[in-house]
Amino acid sequence: MMKIRQILPILLLTTVSALQAQEDEWEKWGPTDKQSKVGVLLRAGYTIGGTTPLPLPEEIRSIKEFSPKGGATVGVDAYKMFSRRWGASIGWHFFYEGFHTVAEVKNYKMSLTMEGNTMSGYFTGTDVTNNSMWGMTIPLLATFRMSPRWNVSMGPYASVFITRKFDGRVYDNSKGVGYLRVDDPTGEKVNIDRENPATYDFDENMRTWNYGIELAFDWKALRHMNVFGKIDWGLRNVWPENFDAVDFRMYPIYATVGLAYRY
Amino acid sequence: MNKYAKLLPLVSVALLSGCIQDEPMNAECDIEYASVSVENPTDIFYHDYDTLQTISTVTDSIGFLVRRTAQVGMLPLTLQATEGARVLIVDGNEEVPFVNGTPLDFSNEQKHRFKVVSQDGGWSRTYEVKVVRDSNFDYDHMYMTFDFEQYSLESGNKYYVWKETDPIATGYWIGNDPMWKNGNPGYKLSVSSAKPEDYPSAPIAGGGPDGSDCVKLVTRDTGAFGRMVNYRLASGSMFIGEFDVANALKDALAATLFGVPFKHRPTRISGWFRYIPGPHFQNRDGVILPDSIDQPDFYAVMYRNQDAEGHEVRLNGADILINPHIVAMARLPHPNHGLTDEWQYVVLDMVYREELDPELLENNGYSFTVSVASSYRGGEFEGCVGNTLYVDAITVECEY
């Protein structure tokens, strides 16, 4: 018992000082402006991802190649902390994102309309897709400080695509099989091979804006610098509902990692 | 860092591949090959290879041509369908699974009906299989006249098709498939919105020199889809043979298969023509070449349809005028064809490079074609869009 009586004050003392230190940490890594608790973040990062159907439809048999194209985000976020743990931010980001993929497909329903003429049917073979867009995103996020140095933010965003590219070509697969069944699987078979591929271009068909959910993690590495990672998950089909060249809905899903200057 | 950057696409592929679902079942239900087995094929067929046929996806009638004198009874039939598809033999209202190799009674040109159901059960097609007895070939000095009076819209109502009714031609040459062939099925793929009369090959009611119906062949622009595959124009055409739409995009020249076996000696072809040239000659890339002129074409070719090793020879758009198996040919002269906007009668003699071998002739060893086109280099996708050739009353004269 004597021992406990002697240890207790020491224990209490250390706990209090630990809490004190913890409080200093929250203060130290908090907003630079201690009065208004308002600040800005200047972000720059590398962006990777793709525009994809979810889940991948069974018509897609294998992905032979996938590579991100370029991919960069720069932008600014303004934030305000309302309490020690909770805050909000609004941003304005410019991005360039895209991908290149080579996929083997089977009975992939497609319909192309060009100059008022339509070619539709079921394609089996290789489909090469190139997609890229320049645009800007406005995220509106709620921020939660998990710890003095770790923030997680989440909220809706809206994007506008300033330029859009979505094109590609179809030809035979690795077994030399590439054909379209015109209109339906009993229609005439039209062979297409890599010597004379059929190309397509849906730039104009892509929707000009999108919305989704952004989830971001920030780690305060230095007094004025964050390391961050975020994912923008598009929730709006990139194709208008009446667009039937691509038989499934596709969503842009892009992740960014980078550095931010924090004030 | 660079090493890891290179790994990124690989990792992405691996991640995405994890999301690949099970392969969907086949939706197609074609008979791809049909064969009959007999001990000595040439007893009843002309060639060994006549017992095995590759079936085009646009065909639903399969015919095995046999010699006129052949005794045909029960023949074991094998049908190779799309992987996973079920083949049923249809007897009245009954559909029974068909076992390959089952002998079927083909005597008296009896037809057998089949239904093929796709692996996924969603699609089906019906086929008819029969044996066709070849026609008599003893005939002295015969004429065939093609007036192009029998035409109708094809089943999809997209374009016109012409059926030949001349009794000599259908009785002794193209009885199995009395349809004129042209590039219309290919044009349909690229210009789906075209009206039937705006296809490269179309009929003109009452447009002939004698007031009967004639054919109007026009070299047409193939629009955005044509540019997509770098086939920017389509020549109007009519020919005897086969248009293999499966290869219309892959290899357009090879898709035009000329000729049908012929057991006679053609000596002369003739026809009525009226020609209006289009304004600008364009090359394959669509570049206008001011110094080049387009021309119409009209020719007939007789060729040996088997090589020295006994393999089948079928001339196509690439070699119909140059293949060494050609034995006789008649062709409109180029460039001085002499055709104008006025109807004109043209007669051309068949020029023989070697005399016909009577035994080969009797055994279906020669094939013959007659062909007309609005652009003579249309197969290479060069010519004048708008080139127009009116055609009527083509005749073929044979010595025997």
Question: What's the pLDDT tens digit per position in B315-340?
Answer: 999 999 999 999 999 999 998 999 99
Q: What six digits make up the tokens of B77?
A: 């039939």
Is the Cβ pair A192, B230 closer than 8 Å? no
Within a domain: residue A12? no
Using the CB atoms, write b or e for B22-48: b if 16+ within 10 Å: eeebbbbbbbbebbbeeeebeebbbbe
Q: In chain A, whose CA is at the least distance from the CA of B119?
A: A185
Domain count of the fold of chain A: 1
Listing DSSP states for B287-334 in one string gives -B-TT-----EEEEEEEESB-TTS-B---BTTTTTT-TTEEEEEE--S
Q: What is the pLDDT of residue A102?
A: 95
Mean pLDDT in residue range B75-93: 95
Within a domain: residue A7? no
Whether residue A169 lies within 8 A of chain B, CB to CB, comes out as no
A22: three-class secondary structure by DSSP:
helix
Is the Cβ pair B21, A58 closer than 8 Å? yes
Residue with tokens 């060729």: B303
| Domain residue ranges in chain B | 31-133, 142-398
Q: What is the pLDDT of residue A2?
A: 52
State how far the Cα of B249 lies from the Cα of A182, in Å rounded to an integer: 13
Q: Are A190 and B246 in contact (CB under 8 A)?
A: yes
Within a domain: residue A1? no
pTM for the structure as a whole: 0.81
Phi, psi of A13 (to 5 degrees): -60, -45
The four Cα atoms B334, B335, B336, B339 give a dihedral, to 10 degrees, of 90
Listing DSSP states for A216-244 in one string gives EEEEEEETTEEEEEEEEEE-S-SS-TT--
Q: Which residues of chain A make contact with B119, given a CB cutoff of 8 A?
A: none
Cα B196 from chain centre: 19
Could you tell me which of B218, B157, B271 has the C-alpha nearest to residue B385?
A: B218
pLDDT in tens, chain A (263 residues): 556 666 666 666 666 666 666 778 888 888 888 888 999 999 999 999 999 888 888 999 999 999 888 789 999 999 999 999 999 999 999 999 999 999 999 999 888 777 788 888 999 999 999 999 999 999 999 999 999 999 999 999 999 999 999 998 899 998 999 999 998 999 989 888 888 788 888 898 899 999 999 999 999 999 999 999 999 999 999 999 888 788 889 999 999 999 999 98
Q: In chain B, whose CA is at the least distance from the CA of A185?
A: B28
Minimal C-alpha gap between A158 and chain B (Å): 26
Complex ipTM, two decimals?
0.83
Q: Are B231 and B385 in contact (CB under 8 A)?
A: no
State how far the Cα of B340 lies from the Cα of B377, in Å rounded to an integer: 19
Within a domain: residue A6? no
Please give the DSSP secondary-structure letter assigned to residue B23.
P
Within a domain: residue A230? yes
Minimal C-alpha gap between A162 and chain B (Å): 26
- Domain holding A135, by residue range, is 37-262
Nearby residues of B331 by Cβ (< 8 Å), 6 or more positions away: B297, B298, B299, B300, B321, B348
A207: three-class secondary structure by DSSP:
coil
Is the Cβ pair B8, A48 closer than 8 Å? yes
Please give the DSSP secondary-structure letter assigned to residue B48.
G
- Please give the class, per CATH, of domain B142-398: mainly beta
Is the Cβ pair B245, A190 closer than 8 Å? yes
Task: Kindly tell me the burial class for residue A261, based on how many C-beta atoms sit within 10 Å of its own C-beta (0-12, 13-18, 19 or more).
Answer: middle
For the domain covering B31-133, report its CATH number. Answer: 2.60.40.2340
Minimal C-alpha gap between B21 and chain A (Å): 5
Within a domain: residue A59? yes
Q: In chain B, whose CA is at the least distance from the CA of A50?
A: B12
State how far the Cα of A93 lies from the Cα of A139, in Å rounded to an integer: 8
Nearest to A190 among B9, B223, B246 (CB): B246
Q: Are A132 and A165 in contact (CB under 8 A)?
A: yes
Within a domain: residue A16? no
Element containing residue A85 per DSSP (H, E): none
Q: What is the CATH number of the domain that holds A104?
A: 2.40.160.20
Within a domain: residue A256? yes
